[in-house]
Structure 1
Amino acid sequence: MLKGKIIRALSGFYDVQLDDRIIRCKGRGLFRKKQVTPLVGDIVELDLDSPQASTGMIQHVLERTNELVRPPVANIDHALIVQSITEPELNPILLDRFLVLAESKRIEPVILFTKKDLASSKISEHANYYKDAYEKIGYQVIETSTEPDLLVQSLESIVKNRVCVIAGQSGVGKSTLLNRIEPDLNIETADISKSLGRGKHTTRHVELYQLLGGFIVDTPGFSSLDFAELTLEELRETFIEFERISEHCKFRGCFHINEPKCAVKDALETGEIESFRYKHYQLFHEEIKNRKPRY
């Protein structure tokens, strides 16, 4: 049986890359009965309608290393989390929501700051504070260039031989970024809505683009992420700087909220942990704790 990767999903059809060919496929009716939905990024086994046909049928979806619900993508190596410095302004709480999601799925995040060329010196200074803070935690932060050659140079080593999802709030420049790397893509972009301060939705389906020796998934923009499936225990593990320190907490399984002799709260007092990160952790903890049960 032939094996390929789903690179596009649209209206019940799946485009599967099979060596140097693209095969338009449908999924077996059995998938619906078993509630299996093939996703972009899936490795699948398929049969062709005939040896030279460009159409076929997906017979089996191989086991995934990870998957996201929104966007619906599987087997991701890196999450390229795009945050604009201005228009819309940098949003650290939203950035941390993306980081939590990536960490919970064991996807390595890389933070991309865009639109520095549009920012005032004051806004740039504000962004530099967060760049330094996230690099101190251990995250890779890249300030993207408007020069295509420099942009390719900064991203090639991250994307090559990997599947990367590019994610971020609408209007931060995700599609513009991809078009700058490969102008032939011609992905639709839109201006920021002045009344809402966010971009109009321009990406209407999930697609895996072959770029820089790997794959990048351009995804529909969205401005919020909920933690519907995340537990308090999982949340605690997604703040990676807390994890390194928590072994010194007095109580095993400390949630770093009300427990005495908490090493994380001690580190907060000394400045070893950034106050904005701890504040976001408290907010997310409260959100999950007060989440209404789903039946």
Structure 2
Amino acid sequence: MAEGRIIKALSGFYYVSGPEGTVQCKGRGVFRNKKIKPLVGDQVVYKADNYKEGTVTEVKKRKNELIRPPIANVDQALLVFSAVEPAFSPLLLDRFLVHVEESDIDPLIVVTKEDLASEEVMKEVARYKAIYQKLGYPFYVVSNTSNKGLEEAALHFKDRITVIAGQSGVGKSSFLNALVPELNLETGAISTHLGRGKHTTRHVELISLYEGLVADTPGFSSLDFQEMDESELSLYFPEMRERLPDCKFRGCTHRKEPGCAVKEALEQGEISESRYNHYLQFYQELSEQQRRY
């Protein structure tokens, strides 16, 4: 028996990186009976039949897990957005941030395609960069063609499992290719008719990069709030979370209650209006979801 980490899952096989290299493993039948599905990122115990093949016998306790993309034990999420094609979306960024905050994952924000954007667009991106940096979120603007900002962002990978996520066509694979050209990951052009890219990444795989493990994941354009309750939502907005003790009423929803520290901070310009409006939008979405079920 040996211990290792699943670095790729493909066609029913789990590729486990262990003391003697990578072994292609099958899962034990008992996993299916217990409704356990091994995930990329899992620490596992496996039995090697030979130096190439083996069987996963145990999945160790997880730190966290994501449903989409399916990956476990993530330390950090690199949230990739583009300045143009598709346009930068603060609403989608805040949706991503809520999900990674809920999973206790550190976010790292990167905006690509600076070289393709107008000066006016980049001024708007810079305005949002200031908002998110004030909240303590690392935020980098990069160009995959000139490599500006790439190394700086990649230094965050060391000793961590990082999941790279974002809309299709924002340049996730291009970002990795610019860092390590020999990866030669497939990239997709933007459809001018649909305004979004084709999904070029077919499976989740951990790649050794800058002394860490990085997952290039299938692209997606939306995230659904599944098991979250609206009463928890403000916990995933750090500027609201830190002001909760100062609200007059316990369980304040920061919408209509008097003596709300969050609304006071909003009126004084200490909280971003766009972030607050996104909070209200997500709260409404969660409330409607609760009523449906």
Say yes or no: TM over 0.5: yes
Aligned residue pairs total 293
**Gap change, CA 1:171 and 1:40, over 3 Å in 2:** same
Stretches of structure 1 that go unaligned for 5 or more consecutive residues are none
Contact 1:85 1:114 in 2 (8 A): yes
Contact 2:144 2:150 in 1 (8 A): no
Query: Deviations for 1:126-156, whole angstroms, at most 9, x for unmatched residues?
Result: 1111001111121110112436775553134
- The corresponding residue for 1:49 is 49
Q: State which of 258, 271, 274 in structure 2 corresponds to 1:273.
A: 271
Residue pairs, 1:53-202, within 5 angstroms: 53-146=51-144, 151=149, 153-202=151-200
Contact 2:15 2:23 in 1 (8 A): yes
Report the Cα distance in structure 2 between the residues aligned to 1:58 and 1:223, rounded to whole angstroms. Answer: 33
Root mean square deviation, CA, Å: 1.5
Report the Cα distance in structure 2 between the residues aligned to 1:49 and 1:148, rounded to whole angstroms. Answer: 47
**Gap change, CA 1:232 and 1:292, over 3 Å in 2:** closer
Give yes or no for the alignment of 1:210 onto 2:208. yes
- The corresponding residue for 1:12 is 12
Residue pairs, 1:244-255, within 5 angstroms: 244-255=242-253
Report the Cα distance in structure 2 between the residues aligned to 1:57 and 1:148, rounded to whole angstroms. Answer: 45
Which residue identity lines up with residue 49 of structure 1 in the other structure? D
Q: Give the secondary-structure state (helix, strand or coil) at the position aligned to 1:279.
A: helix
Which residue identity lines up with residue 45 of structure 1 in the other structure? V
Contact 1:148 1:180 in 2 (8 A): no
Report the Cα distance in structure 1 between the residues aligned to 2:201 and 2:56, rounded to whole angstroms. Answer: 25
CA positional deviation for 1:259 = 1.5
Report the Cα distance in structure 2 between the residues aligned to 1:120 and 1:132, rounded to whole angstroms. Answer: 19
Contact 2:142 2:150 in 1 (8 A): no
Q: Normalising to structure 1: TM-score of the pair? A: 0.96
CA positional deviation for 1:264 = 0.3
Contact 2:143 2:150 in 1 (8 A): no
Stretches of structure 2 that go unaligned for 5 or more consecutive residues are none
CA positional deviation for 1:294 = 7.9
CA positional deviation for 1:234 = 2.7
Contact 1:156 1:213 in 2 (8 A): no
Report the Cα distance in structure 2 between the residues aligned to 1:276 and 1:292, rounded to whole angstroms. Answer: 24
State the identity %. 51
Which residue identity lines up with residue 30 of structure 1 in the other structure? V
- The corresponding residue for 2:223 is 225
CA positional deviation for 1:292 = 5.0
**Gap change, CA 1:169 and 1:266, over 3 Å in 2:** same
Q: Give the secondary-structure state (helix, strand or coil) at the position aligned to 1:9.
A: strand
**Gap change, CA 1:294 and 1:23, over 3 Å in 2:** farther
Q: Normalising to structure 2: TM-score of the pair? A: 0.96
Report the Cα distance in structure 2 between the residues aligned to 1:68 and 1:294, rounded to whole angstroms. Answer: 24
Give yes or no for the alignment of 1:260 onto 2:261. no
Report the Cα distance in structure 2 between the residues aligned to 1:151 and 1:67, rounded to whole angstroms. Answer: 29
Report the Cα distance in structure 2 between the residues aligned to 1:268 and 1:294, rounded to whole angstroms. Answer: 31
Q: Give the secondary-structure state (helix, strand or coil) at the position aligned to 1:187.
A: coil
